[in-house]
Chain A
Amino acid sequence: MNRESLIQKWLDHDLNPQELEAFKQLEDYNDLIKLDLQLKGFKAKALDTEDELDTVWNTVKSKPTKRYKLISIVSKIAAVLVICFGIYFYSNSLDTTTRTLVSEQKSLVLPDASRVELNAVSSIVFNASNWDDNRNLSLQGEAFFNVAKGQRFDVKTEIGTVTVLGTQFNVKQRDKYFEVTCYEGKVGVHTNTKQTTLLPGDTFLIIDGKYIATEKEELPSPSWLNHKSTFKSIPYREVIAEFERQYNVSVEFNNIDDSQKFTGSFMHNDIEIALKSITLPLQLKYSKTDNIIRLKRE
C-alpha cells in the first residue's frame, strides 16, 4: 500500500491494525500527528442541543403565525373602509348651507331641480341626502323660489313656515319682518298667530307681529331679481335696512320718523340714483362720507 492511500485511509479513520503499523512507519508520521493534534484547537464550541431547541421553540412561538398576519392585514383594510364609509355617510347627512354677503345675490338649484334665488345677506340650509322624501329648508333673509312639482315643500323661517306643492313665490324674513308673495300656484303660510293660503298675486305680510293687508302684486317675479328693491307702504326703517344690505353702507339719521310708510323703489347698481330715490319722496337730504350716509331733514 503506498503512502498516499495510507494517509487517505488515516484521514477517513479507516485504517486496520496492519495498515496503522505501516502508517506509523511513514517518515512524516510525527508531522501529521502533530498537525492533527494542533488542529483540535480549532474545534467549534460545543452546543447544548436541548437549550438551543428550547430557544428555537420560544422564537417560533413568540412569532405570530402567517394566518394571524393575514387576519390583521384584512382587519386593517376593513377598518380603513369602515372609516371611509363613515366619513362618506356622515358628510352626506350633513346639511348644505348657502350664504350671501352684502350686495351679493346667488342662484342655486336644489336636488329636485327647484331653483332658489338668494338675495343679499341671506342664507338657506337644507339636507341634500334625502331631499326627494323631505323637501325642507330653513331660510334667513330673502329668497325667491321656483319649486318643481312634487311632494310638499317647506320653507322654515323664524316667524313662520311656508308650504307649497309646486309654484313660484318669494319669502322675505328680516328682523321682525315676514313677507311671503305668491307668483304662481298656491302657497300655504303658517305662523303662530295666523294660517292662510295665498293665490297668485297675494302677499302675506307681518311686521312687528301684526298682520298687514296689502294690495295685489302685479309683477311676474320679485323686482329684486332685476336688481331693484320695491316697497309698497313699508316702514321706512325696513327700506333703510334693505338699502344697507344692497350697498354695504351704514345709514345714520336723527329726528326722522322711521316708521312712516314708504312706497317706491331703488336700483342696486347706482348708489347716487338709489339715494335720491329713497330721500326725495320724503324731502330728506343726504351726505356721504366713505361708507357712512347721514340723512337730514331739508
Chain B
Amino acid sequence: MSKPLKEHICEEQLFSSIFRKYSKDLYDFLYYKFGSQFNPQDKMQEAFVKLWENCAKVPQDKAKSFLFTTANNLMLNEFAHRKVVLRHQQIKPKHSTNINPEFLLQEKQYKEKLEKAIANLTEAQRVAFLMNRVEGKRFKEIAQLLDISTKAVEKRIYGALKKLRQDIDEL
C-alpha cells in the first residue's frame, strides 16, 4: 500500500478514495472473468457496500483483497460455471479506404475465431491476459491486484497468447 494510514475505512473520504482507486479494476476483473451476463457492475457496487458495512473490521491494507474476494463470491453464488463468452464489439477500422467485401469477410471470420479462442482460455489466463492486452496493465500491476507473483502473471499471459494463436490457426 502506498500510504499506510491509521485511518478507518469508515471515513467517507478514505472510502471514496478506495472506491476511485479500485472500482474500475474490480469491474474489469469481474467482466473478464465472468462476462457480462451476471451484471459485473452490480456485483462491484455490492462488494463496496459490503466493504462499507464491514469498514470497522477490515484494515485499509486488506480492503483490496476484501473487495476482490467478496465480489468474486457474489458472482460465484449466481454463476454455475457456465462457459463465458465475451462479446466482441465492432471497432471502427482506421483505414476505411481499403475496405472490400473479401476483407470484411476475413475480418468477421477472424473475430468469430477470436471469440471462441478466448472462451477456451482458463479463467485465470483470460483475466490476466485481457487486463494486460485490453486495459494496458503491466505485469506488476496485475500481480498486485490478483495477489499473485509477477512471474505467475507472466506465465499466464504468455501461456494465453500461445494458446490463443494456436487456436486461431487451428479453427
Contacts and interface: CB of A to CB of B under 8 A. Distances in A.
Contacts of B1: none
Given A11-B158, A52-B23, A31 B118 contact: no
Q: Which of A4, A41, A55 has the most CB of B within 10 A?
A: A41
A60 B54 CA distance: 11
A35 B167 CA distance: 12
A216 interface: no
Interface string A52-93: 110110011001001000000000000000000000000000
Contact of A35 (B48, B154, B165): B165
A227 B171 CA distance: 110
B157 interface: yes
Contacts of A53: 16, 19-20, 23
A226 interface: no
Interface string A6-19: 01100111100000
B91 A56 contact: no
B28 A44 contact: yes
Given A7-B161, A47-B41, A40 B24 contact: no
B48 A8 contact: no
Interface string B55-93: 000000000000000000000000000000011111100
A41 B158 contact: no
B157 A11 contact: yes
A49 B20 contact: yes
Nearest to A66: B53
Interface in B1-42: 16, 19-20, 23-24, 27-28, 31-32, 40-41
Contacts of B101: none
B84 to A, nearest CB: 11
A14 B153 CA distance: 15
A42 B19 contact: no
A13 B89 contact: no
Contact of A60 (B31, B52, B164, B165): B52
Contacts of B136: 13
Contacts of B164: 35
Contacts of A36: 133
A255 interface: no
A38 interface: yes
B45 A59 contact: yes
A40 B41 contact: no
A39 B88 CA distance: 8
Nearest to B41: A47
Interface in A208-260: none
Contacts of B49: 56, 59-60, 63
A194 interface: no
Interface string A24-47: 000010010011111111111001
Nearest to A39: B133
B8 to A, nearest CB: 15
A49 B87 CA distance: 23
B120 interface: no
B139 A12 contact: yes
Contact of B52 (A13, A37, A55, A56): A56
Given A11-B132, A12-B154, A49-B19, A44 B114 contact: no
Q: Which of A31, A40, A60 has the most CB of B within 10 A?
A: A60
Contacts of B146: none
Contacts of B48: 56
A4 B134 CA distance: 21
A4 B138 CA distance: 17
Given A8-B158, A37-B91, A52-B41, 17 more contacts: A7-B161, A14-B138, A35-B164, A35-B165, A35-B168, A38-B114, A39-B130, A40-B91, A43-B135, A44-B27, A44-B32, A47-B24, A49-B19, A52-B44, A53-B19, A53-B20, A56-B48
Q: Please give me the 9 A-B residue pairs with the lowest Cβ-Cβ distance, nearest first.
A: A44-B31, A41-B88, A56-B48, A39-B133, A60-B52, A44-B28, A41-B91, A12-B139, A43-B134
Interface of B: 16, 19-20, 23-24, 27-28, 31-32, 40-41, 44-45, 48-49, 52-53, 86-91, 110-111, 114, 118, 130, 132-136, 138-139, 154, 157-158, 161, 164-165, 168
7 contacts: A11-B133, A11-B158, A39-B130, A44-B135, A53-B19, A55-B45, A59-B45
